Amino acid sequence: MALIAALLSGAVALPAQARAEVSLLPDCGNVSYGGKVEPVQWSSGCLGGSVNLDQLRWKDWGAPAAVATGIVRYNTCEPDCAGGSVYDYPAELRTESIKQCASPLGPQRYYTRFTITVTFPEGNDAGQPAGTSPPFSFTASCPYPGYLVSTGSKAAGFGAFVESGEYDGSRLDLFFGPSSSKRPGRYSMCTKRWPKLGMTVKLVLYGVDGDPCEQGGFFSATLDDGRWHTSSGVRPGGSVSRAARASVRRCTRATCNNKTGYVLALHRIDCAPGLFPGVIAETARGRVKRLVIQTYSCE
């Protein structure tokens, strides 16, 4: 396990395929990225009122279900969690439901269901009935923002973002952080950029007054950082041959708005017959230049 911890910390390089085989317990109950192998300490969340566990000893790590015994730092949260009394009691943590999630390191395996039970002694200071508590279970989706580009959905999607309509501008800021620049344009359009993520998004506000940078709906996005990838491994900087194998058809200048490359997904739109290229691997000089995601709705 020491070797695995060293690999995950970046001290030793791991091929992407090998990294994906390591199961991780996400930080703060899947609130944020990261991930730990057999952690001694773990919290169900990042805020006050979270269940905090310590002295964990694990069994069957990496199996479909892993179990740890240790102690819970039980907070009475009276008068509030910041001023509550904390007591230590024996506890068990069960983790299961492994899912493969996008991450800055590529696909990773995360436990996403957690069950905690606590054993309270007679006359405990927490005022709880003696014996084993009812199980406290909760689940979590894959953490975000992530770098996975969806090619199978009817709606455009990348990372934590899935096209939803109005207010996509503010939704993107929520998932990816404030954009470094935003430029309102003609026809109620706005371009927002996140250079550190290699992401540029265009938004449009149809038929009403307002700020398209905040209230606008998704129109298109370009992703040019190599961390962005589809489930089949197509990514900026990657090989054209991989994009060709994953494609549903090759671009023509008419169907891909003068772009050269391969269509990775086709979506039906509400203002034109047939199917529309929703995800494109734009190519140049023998490599994938960027991934382009386009809206499937006209209004």
Q: Name the residue ranges covered by the structural domains of the chain.
A: 2-139, 148-294
- The whole-number average pLDDT for the span 76-101 is 87
Architecture of domain 148-294: Sandwich (2.60)
Give residue 12's pLDDT: 32
The confidence band for 193, taking pLDDT boundaries of 50, 70 and 90, is: very high
- The whole-number average pLDDT for the span 110-125 is 92
3-state secondary structure at position 242? helix
Compute CA distances 181 → 196, 202, 204, whole Å. 12, 12, 16
The confidence band for 106, taking pLDDT boundaries of 50, 70 and 90, is: low
Give residue 267's pLDDT: 85
Give residue 97's pLDDT: 92
The confidence band for 298, taking pLDDT boundaries of 50, 70 and 90, is: low
Compute CA distances 152 → 148, 201, 248, whole Å. 12, 20, 11
**Do 32 and 47 touch, CB atoms closer than 8 A?**
no
- The whole-number average pLDDT for the span 137-157 is 78
Widest pairwise Cα distance in the chain: 76
Q: Which residue has the tokens 């703060």?
A: 28
Give residue 175's pLDDT: 67
Residue 75 neighbours by CB under 8 Å, 6+ apart: 49, 52, 81, 84, 85, 86
The confidence band for 17, taking pLDDT boundaries of 50, 70 and 90, is: very low
Q: Does the pTM of the predicted model rise above 0.85?
A: no
Which of the residue ranges 134-148, 160-174, 250-264 has the most confident prediction, judged by mean pLDDT? 250-264
Q: What are phi and psi of 172, to 5 degrees?
A: -65, -40
3-state SS track over 78-146: CCCCCCCCEEEEEEEEEEEEEEEECCCCCCEEEEEEEEEEEEECCCCCCCCCCEECCCEEEECCCCCCC
- The whole-number average pLDDT for the span 32-50 is 73
How many Å apart are CA 226 and CA 232, to the nearest integer?
14
Cα dihedral: 76, 78, 82, 86 (round 10): -30
Residue 41, number of CB atoms within 10 A of its CB: 12
Burial degree of 12 (CB within 10 A; 0-12, 13-18, 19+): exposed
Q: Which residue has the tokens 């706005």?
A: 190
The model's pLDDT over 204-246, given as tens digits with 9 standing for 90+, comes to 987 777 888 888 889 999 999 998 999 999 999 999 999 999 9
- The whole-number average pLDDT for the span 33-55 is 78
How many Å apart are CA 220 and CA 279, to the nearest integer?
10
- The whole-number average pLDDT for the span 7-17 is 34
**Do 159 and 177 touch, CB atoms closer than 8 A?**
no
Give yes or no for residue 284 having a pLDDT over 50.
yes
The confidence band for 164, taking pLDDT boundaries of 50, 70 and 90, is: confident
DSSP conformation class of 36: B
The DSSP bridge partners found for residue 138 are: 114
Which of the residue ranges 4-13, 102-111, 194-203, 237-246 has the most confident prediction, judged by mean pLDDT? 237-246
Average pLDDT, the chain: 81
- The whole-number average pLDDT for the span 250-258 is 86
